[in-house]
Protein backbone atom coordinates (compact mmCIF):
# COMPACT_ATOMS: atom_id res chain seq x y z
CA UNK A 1 0.00 0.00 0.00
CA UNK A 2 1.18 3.53 -0.74
CA UNK A 3 1.87 5.51 2.41
CA UNK A 4 -0.20 8.64 3.17
CA UNK A 5 3.05 10.68 3.27
CA UNK A 6 3.96 9.60 -0.26
CA UNK A 7 0.46 10.39 -1.51
CA UNK A 8 0.62 13.85 0.12
CA UNK A 9 4.05 14.53 -1.39
CA UNK A 10 2.87 13.51 -4.86
CA UNK A 11 -0.27 15.63 -4.48
CA UNK A 12 1.94 18.68 -3.83
CA UNK A 13 3.95 17.82 -6.95
CA UNK A 14 0.79 17.59 -9.08
CA UNK A 15 -0.53 20.88 -7.68
CA UNK A 16 2.77 22.60 -8.56
CA UNK A 17 2.57 21.24 -12.12
CA UNK A 18 -0.94 22.66 -12.55
CA UNK A 19 0.23 26.05 -11.28
CA UNK A 20 3.21 25.96 -13.65
CA UNK A 21 1.18 25.48 -16.84
CA UNK A 22 0.91 29.26 -17.36
CA UNK A 23 4.63 30.03 -16.91
CA UNK A 24 5.91 29.19 -20.40
CA UNK A 25 3.01 30.81 -22.30
CA UNK A 26 3.44 33.94 -20.16
CA UNK A 27 7.19 34.01 -20.89
CA UNK A 28 6.44 33.61 -24.61
CA UNK A 29 3.96 36.50 -24.46
CA UNK A 30 6.49 38.69 -22.63
CA UNK A 31 9.30 37.97 -25.11
CA UNK A 32 6.98 38.60 -28.05
CA UNK A 33 5.98 41.93 -26.49
CA UNK A 34 9.59 43.18 -26.08
CA UNK A 35 11.11 41.62 -29.23
CA UNK A 36 10.37 44.41 -31.70
CA UNK A 37 11.40 47.13 -29.25
CA UNK A 38 14.79 45.54 -28.57
CA UNK A 39 15.46 44.88 -32.25
CA UNK A 40 14.47 48.46 -33.09
CA UNK A 41 16.60 49.93 -30.28
CA UNK A 42 19.65 48.01 -31.53
CA UNK A 43 18.91 48.22 -35.26
CA UNK A 44 22.52 49.13 -36.06
CA UNK A 45 23.64 45.84 -34.45
CA UNK A 46 20.78 43.37 -34.97
CA UNK A 47 19.87 42.25 -38.49
CA UNK A 48 16.84 40.18 -37.50
CA UNK A 49 15.20 38.37 -34.62
CA UNK A 50 12.72 35.57 -34.28
CA UNK A 51 10.74 34.29 -31.31
CA UNK A 52 11.92 30.78 -30.44
CA UNK A 53 10.82 28.15 -27.93
CA UNK A 54 13.15 25.17 -27.91
CA UNK A 55 16.04 23.63 -25.95
CA UNK A 56 14.38 24.52 -22.65
CA UNK A 57 14.20 28.23 -23.31
CA UNK A 58 11.82 30.77 -24.77
CA UNK A 59 13.02 34.08 -26.16
CA UNK A 60 14.38 35.87 -29.19
CA UNK A 61 17.21 34.63 -31.38
CA UNK A 62 18.89 37.54 -33.13
CA UNK A 63 21.26 37.54 -36.09
CA UNK A 64 23.91 40.23 -35.69
CA UNK A 65 25.02 42.51 -38.53
CA UNK A 66 28.70 42.99 -37.73
CA UNK A 67 29.71 39.64 -36.24
CA UNK A 68 29.35 36.02 -37.38
CA UNK A 69 27.38 35.39 -34.18
CA UNK A 70 23.83 35.23 -33.00
CA UNK A 71 22.44 36.47 -29.72
CA UNK A 72 19.67 35.03 -27.60
CA UNK A 73 17.72 36.84 -24.92
CA UNK A 74 14.92 35.22 -23.03
CA UNK A 75 14.06 32.84 -20.21
CA UNK A 76 15.57 29.43 -19.53
CA UNK A 77 12.75 27.33 -18.11
CA UNK A 78 14.33 23.86 -18.22
CA UNK A 79 18.08 23.72 -17.57
CA UNK A 80 18.13 19.98 -18.26
CA UNK A 81 16.79 20.39 -21.78
CA UNK A 82 18.90 23.22 -23.15
CA UNK A 83 22.26 21.51 -22.66
CA UNK A 84 24.16 24.80 -22.73
CA UNK A 85 26.08 26.04 -19.73
CA UNK A 86 24.40 29.19 -18.49
CA UNK A 87 27.64 30.89 -17.50
CA UNK A 88 30.48 30.52 -19.95
CA UNK A 89 34.06 30.39 -18.76
CA UNK A 90 36.13 33.45 -19.65
CA UNK A 91 37.56 33.21 -23.16
CA UNK A 92 41.11 34.53 -22.93
CA UNK A 93 41.25 35.06 -26.70
CA UNK A 94 38.93 38.06 -26.37
CA UNK A 95 40.50 41.52 -26.37
CA UNK A 96 41.30 42.67 -22.84
CA UNK A 97 38.96 45.65 -23.29
CA UNK A 98 36.02 43.22 -23.42
CA UNK A 99 37.06 41.12 -20.44
CA UNK A 100 35.40 43.37 -17.85
CA UNK A 101 31.97 43.59 -19.51
CA UNK A 102 29.46 41.57 -17.45
CA UNK A 103 26.94 39.73 -19.60
CA UNK A 104 24.36 38.05 -17.38
CA UNK A 105 21.88 35.58 -18.78
CA UNK A 106 23.05 35.89 -22.38
CA UNK A 107 24.43 33.00 -24.38
CA UNK A 108 26.51 33.60 -27.50
CA UNK A 109 26.93 30.99 -30.20
CA UNK A 110 29.04 31.12 -33.29
CA UNK A 111 27.15 30.79 -36.53
CA UNK A 112 30.26 29.15 -37.95
CA UNK A 113 30.46 26.38 -35.34
Q: What is the pLDDT of residues 54-86, one digit of tens each?
A: 878 899 999 999 988 888 899 887 766 555 555
**Owning domain of residue 89:** 4-110
CA-based R_g, the chain, Å: 19
Domain count, the chain: 1
Burial of 84-97, coded b for 16+ CB within 10 Å and e otherwise, reads: eeeeeeeeeeeeee
**Which stretches of the chain are DSSP H helices?**
4-20, 23-41, 79-82
- Percentage of the chain lying above the pLDDT 70 cut: 66
**Alpha-carbon dihedral 68, 74, 78, 81, rounded to 10 degrees:** -20
Q: Is the pTM of this model over 0.75?
A: no
pLDDT range class, residue 98, cuts 50, 70, 90: very low
Amino acid sequence: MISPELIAAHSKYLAAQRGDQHFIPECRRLMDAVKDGVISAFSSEIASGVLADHWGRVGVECVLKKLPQWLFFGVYYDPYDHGIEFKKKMNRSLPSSLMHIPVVGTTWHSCLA
